[in-house]
Structure 1
Amino acid sequence: MEKAPLRPSILQKYGEARLPRYTSYPTAPHFSPEIGPAIYADWLASLPGDEPVSLYLHIPFCRAMCWYCGCHTTITVRDQPIVDYLGMLRAEIDTVAAKISHPLPVEKVHFGGGTPTIVEPADFIALVDLLRGRFDFTPGAELAVEIDPRTLTSEMAAALGSAGIRRASLGVQSFDPIVQKAVNRIQSEGQTFGTVQALRAHGVDRINFDLIYGLPHQTIRSCVETAVAAAAMRPDRLAVFGYAHVPSFKKHQRMIDETALPDGAARSEQALAIAETLVAAGYRQIGLDHFALPDDDLALAQAAGKLRRNFQGYTTDDCQTLIGFGASAIGRTAQGYVQNEVPLGRYAEHIGAGQLATTKGYLLTAEDRLRADIIERLMCDLQADVPAICIRHDFDPARLLDGNQKLDALVQDGVLDVAGGIVRLRGDHRFLVRAAAAAFDAYPGASPRVHGKAA
């Protein structure tokens, strides 16, 4: 049976709210400068030597600005700023490695941006070699990279294969030329398919696509046509995000014509149409906004109840520690979160002085960990057994369930059900899972200008 779009009254009440994507809890607006380089150095020194970790490297450069972009990136037509930055990144890797008593085992590496493949092929290979020299990569370690198909060269595709990259995430967003012009990103289907073929030819055979709905001039028809074209290329996974229009936070978004943006009802219909198209093409719907082929690790993790969520979205990564490198990079240890300086100049000052680039972070409390577990299960499974999770954290579930006005309102509005302490989203309200997660957020309402709409 086909699902209906969200009721207008529900969309107006919940869909227009600006909520976090809950890729962490607490979210980044709550990070504090009280967590600085000295504290992070202690956290690094205390890392267990036999516990696998994940690495994230941020390359904050692009050749052109996509007006919808919400990432920390800088536009450059020259190569020298990139070369200089790579020097700082290598120095940071050495500095972090020196804080750790011996090389840590690594299971996941993700290169994000910006456009990580903007660097020269030889420089990229050298960067991966440095990581392999400073850390102990496990035999099954997965290396992944984000790619702009408009700028990937054949030499870089070959270098990715040589460096051991096995997963690539390609920005697609929309194949509608009218939408592409409106967001300053012209990218043909042929260009995208050529990139997929080149990557697969060099052993980068795990392909992810990113799509966006809610863009200017986007229609249900163009969303479906994009989804059909994308599915025909058979990526292993697709992430389908709702455009977050926050021009007060990302000033380049002011280039977008706000009058051409679809309203809440249209966004809901677009998201539903894309989901139905991808499911009909053989993909499994994962959590809020991901889709995966049935034999992909993400679909298998969901089926086994082992799906996780981190700063890259839905993931199979179950490492407790994430070490972030580069300007604006966020990391996580058992103790809490850390984030590097965002401005390149400030980042360079720290690294040039031989210091960690940490500018802020967050020390987790026992209750934070509990709420994070509940929110992660809701985001991943669309349900959470609150009493069972509370037992693991030695916490009284009544403190979270009784008198929870947000939760009660969601039940009364038919968005979710609560039975025996198990909170479960109703099937036709999947796109409001962030509203359900927010019912367990102890820090509501912080910096809503940086968040996108809930639906």
Structure 2
Amino acid sequence: MSERLLAKYSGSVPRYTSYPTAPHFHTGVNCDIYSQWLSKLDTGNNLSLYLHIPYCDRLCWFCACHTKQTLRYDPITTYLAALRLEIAAVGAKVPKGAKVTAIHFGGGSPTMLKPEDMTDLMACLRASFNVAADAEISVEMDPNDLDEARYDALAAIGLTRASLGVQDFDPTVQKAINRIQTFEQTKSVVDAVRARGVGSVNCDVLYGLPHQTLEGVGRTLSDILSLSPDRVALFGYAHVPWMKKHQTMIPESALPDIGERFRQSNFASRLLIEAGYQEIGIDHFAKPSDSMAVAARTGRLRRNFQGYTTDSADALIGLGASSISQLPQGYVQNMPATGEYQRMVEVEGMAAVRGVELSEDDRMRAYVIERLMCDFGFDFMPLLANFPAGAHALISEARAFARSNPDDICRVGNASFTITPEGRPFTRTIAAVFDRYLESGRGRHSIAV
């Protein structure tokens, strides 16, 4: 890849886990609107739940999540009381026939919860929602939090997928990002959850971290492959210190430049593919038999606020501070500040403070951007069938962009628009061409490579 192309197409653009993206949410969507949207869900709908636990016992300096450090459990106890109130209030507004087919615990560090709080929270969910017996239950895990009692609690709540953030095993890199986590600790988690019948393990790896080298990336991938995870997410570190002040603890002089980031990404991707993993979208890899790999091969891969997913639920309901819901009418985000979230829930039962109602143009562009991010292209016939009013204009935009682009990063034919293999590293940049909100200038984003 030439330095010219990297410089030209690796600018700052959204990650497109939604469209419109979060900077364009507004306060016109509140608890009243959210309540109306929930009540209009259908009894035959499938639902997915996301629960946000915004606490960690250490703050990783690379992290861009909504979380805070605490060495005391009292704030978590208070927060969980509010979370249970919200679960009950939201569950009461959802039609009883709607079935929950997936539950994801994110953070923060959900594994900070005491075992009895894990099981109590799941009991609250089952009391408030119609949770399917075979629902997928996934939890983000920090090996530093876990012990035998917590492993047993995770098994008791029906854990089916364990997600471990690894980032990098190099001690120099770990010190620079304040994330000390040995391979032995990570392996012990994988062994423990598998011993309790968990059928799927995911590992997250980052490139573009301070002091990271190709050799270090190779060693980390070799260690991860020895664990035989079912999925590996390979993310580029997003340096956004204007949004996450703790990232100022990372010296920018220690960060690799764009060319080195690209080499690290390519090197890691090649190692995973050579090990037999299927490349999925812009940053995921899975064993060919994994449900995500099957979804990618059959055109059923989806993308939401958790990244790539096989979740085909009709609505995603976010619970907890800062969590985002995706409903047929649009997006809703809860109050990010935990104290204010708790006060709102105690008064209103919910804490929705902003969002966006989707227009027909929003839905059309969201469809196109999702297909670009998942399939590296989109066909014109489904677009015309689903969005007859606006599809011709959008197809004209796609033709104009492809024909004006001299670098062969995309191509257009009579029936489809396709990102070329050379253009795939710049998929986010190409998706941004179809983003009508981006030029408004709201929000700053991480670089695209």
Fold match by TM threshold 0.5: yes
User: Which of 79, 83, 86 is equivalent to 1:85?
Assistant: 79
Q: 1:101-160, CA deviations, whole angstroms, 9 ceiling, x for partnerless residues?
A: 425311110000000111101110111111111111223210101011122222111110
Q: TM-score, normalised by structure 2?
A: 0.97
Match of 2:246, as an amino acid? Answer: H
Taking the aligned partners of 2:389 and 2:222, their CA distance within structure 1 comes to: 47
1:7 paired with 2:20, answer no
User: Which of 244, 252, 276 is equivalent to 1:250?
Assistant: 244
CA contact (8 A) 2:398 2:417 kept: no
> Match of 1:165?
159
1:379 CA displacement: 0.4
Taking the aligned partners of 2:104 and 2:404, their CA distance within structure 1 comes to: 36
Q: 1:358-378, CA deviations, whole angstroms, 9 ceiling, x for partnerless residues?
A: 000100011111111111111
Taking the aligned partners of 1:349 and 1:447, their CA distance within structure 2 comes to: 32
Q: Superposition pairs for residues 253-402 of structure 1, below 5 Å?
A: 253-402=247-396
Between 252-261 and 219-228, the greater mean CA deviation after superposition: 219-228
Match of 2:6, as an amino acid? Answer: L
Taking the aligned partners of 1:339 and 1:79, their CA distance within structure 2 comes to: 26
1:197 CA displacement: 0.4
1:392 CA displacement: 1.7
Match of 1:8, as an amino acid? Answer: E
Taking the aligned partners of 2:151 and 2:52, their CA distance within structure 1 comes to: 19
Match of 1:443, as an amino acid? Answer: Y
1:98 CA displacement: 2.1
Taking the aligned partners of 1:420 and 1:270, their CA distance within structure 2 comes to: 36
Match of 1:442, as an amino acid? Answer: R
Q: Superposition pairs for residues 11-410 of structure 1, below 5 Å?
A: 11-15=6-10, 17-102=11-96, 104-402=98-396, 407-408=401-402
Taking the aligned partners of 2:403 and 2:51, their CA distance within structure 1 comes to: 41
1:410 CA displacement: 7.2
Pair 1:437–1:421, CA change in 2 (3 A): farther
CA contact (8 A) 1:36 1:359 kept: yes
Taking the aligned partners of 2:62 and 2:114, their CA distance within structure 1 comes to: 26
SS at match of 1:262: coil
CA contact (8 A) 2:138 2:162 kept: yes
SS at match of 2:405: helix
Taking the aligned partners of 2:193 and 2:129, their CA distance within structure 1 comes to: 26
Q: 1:25-61, CA deviations, whole angstroms, 9 ceiling, x for partnerless residues?
A: 1111110100000001001111101211100000000
CA contact (8 A) 2:66 2:108 kept: yes
Taking the aligned partners of 2:363 and 2:158, their CA distance within structure 1 comes to: 34
CA contact (8 A) 1:144 1:169 kept: yes
Q: TM-score, normalised by structure 1?
A: 0.96
CA contact (8 A) 1:174 1:211 kept: yes
Q: 1:242-285, CA deviations, whole angstroms, 9 ceiling, x for partnerless residues?
A: 01111111000000010010111111110000000001111000
1:391 CA displacement: 2.5
Taking the aligned partners of 1:414 and 1:268, their CA distance within structure 2 comes to: 19
Match of 1:352, as an amino acid? Answer: E
1:205 CA displacement: 2.6
Taking the aligned partners of 1:431 and 1:388, their CA distance within structure 2 comes to: 26
Match of 1:82, as an amino acid? Answer: I
> Match of 1:415?
409
Pair 1:290–1:55, CA change in 2 (3 A): same
Taking the aligned partners of 1:373 and 1:45, their CA distance within structure 2 comes to: 25
User: Which of 406, 429, 437 is equivalent to 2:431?
Assistant: 437
1:95 CA displacement: 1.0
1:401 CA displacement: 3.5
Taking the aligned partners of 1:205 and 1:280, their CA distance within structure 2 comes to: 23
Between 19-28 and 101-110, the greater mean CA deviation after superposition: 101-110
Between 331-340 and 439-448, the greater mean CA deviation after superposition: 439-448
CA contact (8 A) 1:223 1:274 kept: yes
CA contact (8 A) 1:237 1:293 kept: yes
SS at match of 2:185: helix
Q: 1:166-218, CA deviations, whole angstroms, 9 ceiling, x for partnerless residues?
A: 10110100011111111111111111001100111112231000110000011
CA contact (8 A) 2:138 2:161 kept: yes
Taking the aligned partners of 2:21 and 2:347, their CA distance within structure 1 comes to: 29
CA contact (8 A) 1:246 1:449 kept: no
Taking the aligned partners of 2:256 and 2:443, their CA distance within structure 1 comes to: 19
1:230 CA displacement: 0.7
SS at match of 1:19: coil
Q: 1:72-118, CA deviations, whole angstroms, 9 ceiling, x for partnerless residues?
A: 00100001111111101001011112223425311110000000111
Between 426-435 and 274-283, the greater mean CA deviation after superposition: 426-435
SS at match of 1:70: coil
Please list every run of 5 or more consecutive structure 1 residues that lacks an aligned counterpart in the other structure.
Answer: 1-5
Match of 1:318, as an amino acid? Answer: S
Q: 1:359-409, CA deviations, whole angstroms, 9 ceiling, x for partnerless residues?
A: 001000111111111111110011111343132211343412335698247
Q: Percent identity?
A: 44
Between 200-209 and 330-339, the greater mean CA deviation after superposition: 200-209
